[in-house]
Amino acid sequence: MERGAVIRKEARDLRVPPHWDDYAAECRTFRWDDERARLDGLPGGGLNIAHEAVDRHASGALRDRVALRFVSRSAPALELSYAELARQTNRFANVLRSLGVGQGDRLFVLAGRVPELYIAVLGALKNGTVVTPMFSAFGPEPIATRINIGAGAVLVTTDLLYRRKIKAMRAQMPTLRHVLLVAEDGGTTNEPDTQDLATLMRAASDQFSTVATGAQDPALLHFTSGTTGTPKGAIHVHGAVVAHQATGRYALDLHDEDRYWCTADPGWVTGTSYGIIAPLLLGVTSLIDREEFDAERWYTLLEQERITVWYTAPTAIRMLMKAGTALARTHRFPDLRFVASVGEPLNPEAVWWGLEALGLPIHDNWWQTETGGIMIANTPAFDIKPGSMGRPLPGIEACIVEHLEAEGEPARVRVVEQPDVEGELALRAGWPSMFRGYLNNEARYRKCFAGAHQELYLTGDLARRDADGYYWFVGRADDVIKSAGHLIGPFEVESALMEHPAVAEAGVIGKPDPVVGEVVKAFVSLKDGYTADESLRLDILGHARKRLGAAVAPKEIAFLPTLPRTRSGKIMRRLLKARELGLPEGDTSTLEGGA
Ligand code: ATP
Ligand code: MG
C-alpha cells in the first residue's frame, strides 16, 4: 500500500461484525444513560465495578467461560472462570471485612501479574475499598511514598517483595494496619507483623454481598506515570465502569468470544482499566503473561494463545520492530483481528509495520490517567491516517484551545474552531471515568479546568485537529521546542528519524541556544546490526534535514544504547534534557531500571 495514504477500513477485515461502523451516526445518537443501561447496577440503585465485571457474568451465561488465563515460563497455565473469580473475590472481600477494613479504606497491591493481584483488586472493589496497584519493580522509596500519600491501610504483596522492599521501611508507613502476604513458592508465609493471605482466604466464606457503593464513590487511586514530574494521585469512582464498558466496545471492539491480551502491567492505569476491568465487563477471556518483554515469546503467545484482540504500547512495538520483521514472519497470526496501542505517540512507521509484520494496522488511541479511559481513538468505524491518534469516541467532546494572554481571568482559554491549528487539547468535562481530584492537591486539580464554567478539562498535551476531525499529537506542553520563532513538536521530529532504517527509537529535546532560543537535539538508539559511528550520524542528520527542513531537523544527534523510559514505557524527555544540561534529575521514582 502507498505510504502516506489512509488505511481503508473494511468491516470484513475484523471477521466479526464490529460493534459500530458509522461514526457520525453513533456520535449523534450516543447517550451515556444508554451505556449505563447495558450494566446491571446494584439493588437500590448503586453501582460497583466488580459486580459488573465479575458477578454479573458469574450468575449468567458466561459463568464457565475462562475470565483470566495466567501463563509463565515456569508453571503450567492457570485459568479462572468467571464463576471461580466471583468466589475468590468474595473470599477476599470477606478477608478484608474480617480485618475491619471497610468502604473508603485504601488497599495497595505490590506484586507481579499473579492471580492474587487480580483477586485482591476486584475483591477490594466489592468491599468498597479503594485500590492502588503498584509496579512490582518499584523500589522501597516510591512504594513508601505512595502508601503514605494514599494513607494505605492494607498492603497485599509477596513474601519476597516484602522482605526486599517493605520490611525495613515498615515503621515509616504508620497508616498501614495489615500486610497480607502471598508465598512466592505457593506455600505458607511466616513473617512477623504480617498475615498469610492463603490461610485467610481458606477460612473465609465464598459468599459475599457487594457493598452498596454509588457511582460517585471512590474506587481506584492511580498514580500518573511521572513522565513530566512527580507522579500525581488521580482519584477514580465506581461510575467509571460505564466508560470502561463503552470504550471496550467502541475502541477495542471486544466481543465475548475474543481472546484478548493487554500487555500493560496493572501498576499503570492501562493495566487496570483495560487489563482487568474492560475485558471482564465484555465477558472476554484475557491472557495474562507473568514474564517480561521478549520478542520471540510475544510472537509465540500471539500465535499459540490464538489472541484475537491485542492492546499494547508504542515502546513494545518499537522493540518488536527493532528485533526485525523477519522474526515476525516466522509466526502466523490467523486469529488476530484487532490491534491497538496507547501510551505515547505511535509513529506512522509503526502503523505500517503492523501491516507488514502482523497483517493488520495498529490502532493508536489516546488517553491519560486522569481521563480513566480511552478518549480519542482509531476504531473499526473509520479509516486510519497513520500518525493520527484518531477521533473522539462517541460521548467525548474534544477541542483545541488557545490560552488567552490575560491570566487570572476565569475563562483563560478560547476554543479554536478552525482546523489545522496547534493548541492545547481539551475535553468537555462530564464523562463518567473522569478523575475526581488529585489526592491532597486540590489546587493542582483546579488548575486543570478552564472555561466560563470550568467546563473544559485541559490535558497538558498539544495537538491539532484536521478538517476530517482527526487529532494529531504534537507533544506535551512541557516538551515543545521553541526555535527561531518556530514551535517544534518532538513527535514530528522523532517520527521522521524513525523512518531511517537504522533508527529503533528517538527522543528529541530543545537545548538552550543564545541565538535561536533552543536548538533541536535528538537522542537515538539503533536497530540490531547497526554501528553507531560518525558516517551513520551524518546519514541520519541528512535524512532528517531532507524530511523536515533545516529549521526543524535536529542540529545534533547523540547515540544511546536505550532511552530513559518510565515503567509504563514512555520516553522521559525531561531526563534527557536534565542530563544534557547537567541539571538535577528530579523525581525518577518511575524510571525503568531505577529503584
Ligand atoms: P505525568 O502526568 O506524571 O507526567 P504521564 O502524563 O506520562 O505522567 P499517563 O497518564 O500515564 O502519565 O500518560 C498520559 C500521557 O501519555 C498523555 O497525556 C500523553 O502525553 C501521552 N499519551 C498517551 N497516549 C498517547 C497517544 N496515543 N499519543 C500521544 N501521546 C499519548
Ligand atoms: Mg500526565
- As separate numbers, helices (DSSP H) first and strands (DSSP E) second, the chain gives 20, 27
Cell digits for 68? 483470566
Candidate of 347, 570, 571 to mutate for ligand 1, largest count of ligand atoms within 8 Å of Cβ: 570
Calculate how far, in angstroms, residue 228's C-alpha sits from the geometric centre of ligand 2. 7
For residue 590, the ligand 1 atom closest to its alpha carbon is 3
For each of the domains in the chain, give its residue range(s) and CATH number, in order of start: 31-289 (3.40.50.12780), 397-430+449-478 (2.30.38.10), 480-581 (3.30.300.30)
Q: What is the CA radius of gyration of the chain?
A: 24
| C-beta of residue 186 within 8 angstroms of C-beta of residue 199 | no
Cell digits for 547? 524530511
- Position 518 scores a pLDDT of 94
From first to last of the 595 residues of the chain, give the pLDDT tens digit. Answer: 445 589 988 766 778 999 999 999 999 999 999 999 999 999 889 999 999 999 999 999 999 999 999 999 999 999 999 999 999 999 999 999 999 999 999 999 999 999 999 999 999 999 999 999 999 999 999 899 999 999 999 999 999 999 999 999 999 999 999 999 999 999 999 999 999 999 999 999 999 999 999 999 999 999 999 888 888 999 999 999 999 999 999 999 999 999 999 999 999 999 999 999 999 999 999 999 999 999 999 999 999 999 999 999 999 999 999 888 899 999 999 999 999 999 999 999 999 999 999 999 999 999 999 999 999 999 999 999 999 999 999 999 999 999 987 666 667 899 999 999 999 999 999 999 999 999 999 999 999 999 999 999 999 999 999 999 999 999 999 899 998 888 899 999 999 999 999 999 999 999 999 988 999 999 999 998 899 999 999 999 999 999 999 989 999 999 999 999 998 889 999 999 999 999 999 999 889 875 4
Calculate how far, in angstroms, residue 367's C-alpha sits from the geometric centre of ligand 1. 7
- Position 229 scores a pLDDT of 85
For residue 341, the ligand 1 atom closest to its alpha carbon is 27
Helix ranges (H only) for 99-213 are 115-126, 140-149, 159-161, 197-203
Candidate of 149, 227, 425 to mutate for ligand 1, largest count of ligand atoms within 8 Å of Cβ: 227
Calculate how far, in angstroms, residue 476's C-alpha sits from the geometric centre of ligand 2. 9
The C-alpha atoms of residue 372 and residue 342 are separated, in whole angstroms, by 13
Calculate how far, in angstroms, residue 453's C-alpha sits from the geometric centre of ligand 2. 23
Strand spans (E) along 481-572:
481-483, 486-488, 503-513, 517-526, 556-559
Calculate how far, in angstroms, residue 225's C-alpha sits from the geometric centre of ligand 1. 8
For residue 228, the ligand 1 atom closest to its alpha carbon is 4
Smallest CA separation from ligand 1 atom 21, residue? 344
The C-alpha atoms of residue 337 and residue 380 are separated, in whole angstroms, by 11
SS3 493: helix
Dihedral (CA of 558, 342, 318, 382) sign: negative
- Position 2 scores a pLDDT of 46
Calculate how far, in angstroms, residue 110's C-alpha sits from the geometric centre of ligand 2. 22
H-run or E-run covering 473: strand 471-476
H-run or E-run covering 302: helix 295-304
Q: How does DSSP classify residue 72?
A: -
Ligand nearest to the CA of 341: 1
- Position 407 scores a pLDDT of 63
The C-alpha atoms of residue 214 and residue 39 are separated, in whole angstroms, by 14
Ligand nearest to the CA of 224: 1
Measured from CB, residues less than 6 Å from any atom of ligand 1 are 224-229, 231-232, 342-346, 364-366, 368-369, 389, 459, 461, 473, 476, 568, 570
Cell digits for 383? 479509516
Calculate how far, in angstroms, residue 377's C-alpha sits from the geometric centre of ligand 1. 14
H-run or E-run covering 66: strand 66-71
SS3 56: helix
Cell digits for 197? 493471605
Q: Going by DSSP bridges, is the β-strand pair 106-110/154-158 parallel, antiparallel, or unpaired?
A: parallel
Task: List the one residue out of 302, 230, 183 whose CA is nearest residue 589.
Answer: 230
Smallest CA separation from ligand 1 atom 23, residue? 343
Instruction: Give Cβ neighbours of residue 588 (< 8 Å, ≥ 6 apart).
Output: 575, 594
